[in-house]
Structure 1
Amino acid sequence: MRLAKSVAILCLTITAAALSLDNSATTVFPRRRYHDARHQHRLGGEPGSVRSQVVGNVTGHTQIYCHNETQPPIYFTSQPDNGGPGVYILNGDPVRHGAVNGTMYLFYENDHDFVPYLWTVIPPGDAVFVMPCPTFEGRIVRGDVSNFDGRKHLLGTWAELSWSPNGTAWGDVSLLEGNDGPVIVQALDGVNKYKGFSIDVLSNAPAGAWAQKPGTGSWCLDKITSEGGNSVTRAWETQYLDPNSVYLEDNVNPVISSNNGRFAVTFYAGIV
C-alpha cells in the first residue's frame, strides 16, 4: 500500500499540473482523435457499436469474459506492482460515501451489467493497484452495496479500459450513460496522455438535466445516449466539456492508448 500511495501522490501531482490550464472550465485537453477502446479493441481497426456496453459486438470479435455473472463479485485489495500491466485507482474524493473506509469502486465487464466483476473500497487520498484478467473490457465506476442487488446500475461516469493481447491498453471517460462526477484516465507509459475532466459540472446544472440512481436514490446528471438521452443534460455538458476529451457524442472517439498497458484513473469528488 505504501507503493500505491507513492504512485497516487505522483499521479495526482502530474494530473494537477496538466490540468492547471483548465481554470476556464472549457476545453480540458487538446483536440485529438484516438482509436476507440470500447468499440474496436484494436481488432483490425474496424469500428463497432457506439454504445459502451456492447463493445464485444465488434465484427469478428468475441469478448472473453473474466467473470461469470452467476458468480459473486470479487473483493480485492491493492496488488503488488511488478511493473506489468494494470491500473491504479486513485480516490480524489474527500467524502466517505457510506463506506466505512472510503468510497467503493467497481469493475463491470461489457454486457455484464447486473453483477460487478471486482470491487474495492479506497480511503480518500489513497490508491490501489489492480490488474484485471488480461482480456478485461469494461468500466470502473463509483458505487455502494446497492450495486450487489442484481439490477443494472448504469447511471454515472464511466472510466472505460480494455487490454489487447499484445499488452497495449485503451482508455476513455464516458458520460453517455450519465455523469456522477469528474474522472481522469492517465496513461502511465511515459507519453503523458490524459482523457476525461476534473471540473464540477454538476453543482449548477439545470433542473431538467438530472436523473435518480436506482440503488442509492442519489441524483446525478442524466444519460445523453441517443436512445432516451436527455437533451438538456447534453446541452449543459457540451458548454463546458470537450467531446475530444470525454465521450459526449457517438461519432467522436476520445480514447488514449497505453503502450505498456498501465493506467492511473483518478475519481474526483462525485455522487454515489
Structure 2
Amino acid sequence: MLKPSLTLFSLLLATAAALPAGISSSLGSQHAGHLATRGGCTTRAEQVQGTSSDTNGRGVQVKNADSQSRSFFVYANSCDYVPLKYVTLGAGQSAFVSLPQAFQGRIVRGTTQVNLDGRPHLLGTWLEIGLDGDGSGKGWADVSLIRGCDGAVSVAAADGTGASTGFQDSSILDDAPGDALEAKDSGSKVIKATEGLLSVVVEAARDYLASKLGYDKAYIDDYHGNPVICSSNERFSATFYRGRP
C-alpha cells in the first residue's frame, strides 16, 4: 500500500462519507482508518496551461502518449465532485502539474464535459499520489485499478533513482471479455471496478487484469502486491498511454 495517508480505499471511504445516499453504497470500506483529510474541497477547477513552466516544485510531469488529445484531472482525497486541477494535452504533449503541500489524491483520464459537471466519476485507472508534507520532501505513487481500468499509465520518480511502477500495455482494453466491461459516464466501455460493496471482489475484472499484469505493476485488488514507489523530492513523471476517457 501507499503511505497510510493514501491507501487504495481510504480515498473511497472519504468519498462515501460525503456522497448523497445511493452513491456511497457502491464503495468499499476496508481502509477507513487510514484517511487523512487535508482541508476543504475546491469549488472551481484550475486549468493548467500546456505551456506552463516547471518551477522545480512538487508535482507531476504528465505526458499524453495517446494518439488523440486527452484531458487529465487531479482530485484530492474525499473531493470527488470538483477536481482540483485539470490539463488538456494534444497527442505527444506534456505539461508539469504542480501539487499543493501534503497533497493526497489521484490523477485520472476524463473529459471536460463529464469531469467538470459537478458530480463524482470514479470509474477508471487511478494514478495515486501522496506527498508527506512533513518536511522530508518525500512523495509516493502507485497505479490502482481497483476502481476500474480505462487504459495504461506508468509513473517514475523524478529524483534520479529510476524507481517506476505502472504498465504500458495499451491492448488491455481491446482484449477484455464482455463480462469485465462497464460504461463510464462518458459512454466509453472500460474494465469494471475489481471490488464492490464491502470490498467484495468482482472476479471477472480482477482475474482478467491479473492474467494480463500480475500483481506487481498496479493494485488490482486490496489483497495482493505493493507496487508503490517513492520520490525523494516530491516530483514524478507520468505517461498516460492509449485509453478511453
Q: TM-score range by the shorter chain?
A: 0.7 to 0.9
CA distance in 2, matches of 1:118, 1:139: 11
| Residue equivalent to 2:130 | 162
Shift of 1:80: 2.5
**1:211 matched to which residue of 2?**
182
Select 2:90's aligned residue among 87, 109, 123. 123
Q: Is 1:253 matched with 2:219?
A: no
Shift of 1:152: 1.4
Q: Summarize deviations over 1:230-251 as a string: whole Å, max 9, x none.
A: 3111111110112122001213
Aligned twin of 1:132: 99
Aligned Cα RMSD in Å?
2.1
User: More strand per residue: 1 or 2?
Assistant: 2
Indicate yes or no: 2:67 matched with 1:94.
yes
Q: How many residues are aligned here?
A: 221
Cα distance, 1:40 vs structure 2: 3.4
Identity %: 32
Residue in structure 2 matched with residue 152 of structure 1 by the alignment = 120
What amino acid maps onto 2:2 in structure 1? Answer: D
TM-score by length of 1: 0.75
Give the Cα separation in 1 of the matches to 2:52 and 2:100.
13
Between the aligned partners of 1:62 and 1:181, the Cα distance in structure 2 is 28
Q: Deviations over 1:62-118 (max 9, x none)?
A: 4214x624x1111112432233322100000012xxxxxx21110011111111110
Q: Which residue of 1 aligns with 2:12?
A: 53
Residues 5 and 36 in structure 2, CA contact (< 8 A), matched pair in contact too:
no
Residue 266, structure 1, aligned to residue 232, structure 2: no
**Of 205, 211, 235, the match for 1:233:** 205
Contact 1:106 1:141 in 2 (8 A): yes
Q: Within 1, Cα distance between the matches of 2:191 and 2:159?
A: 32
**Residue 185 in structure 1 maps to residue 144 in structure 2:** no
Structure 2: runs of 5+ lacking an equivalent: 15-30
Cα distance in 2 between the residues matched to 1:182 and 1:49: 18
**Using the alignment, how far apart are the partners of 1:204 and 1:224 within structure 2?**
17
Inter-partner Cα distance in structure 1 for 2:10 and 2:227: 14
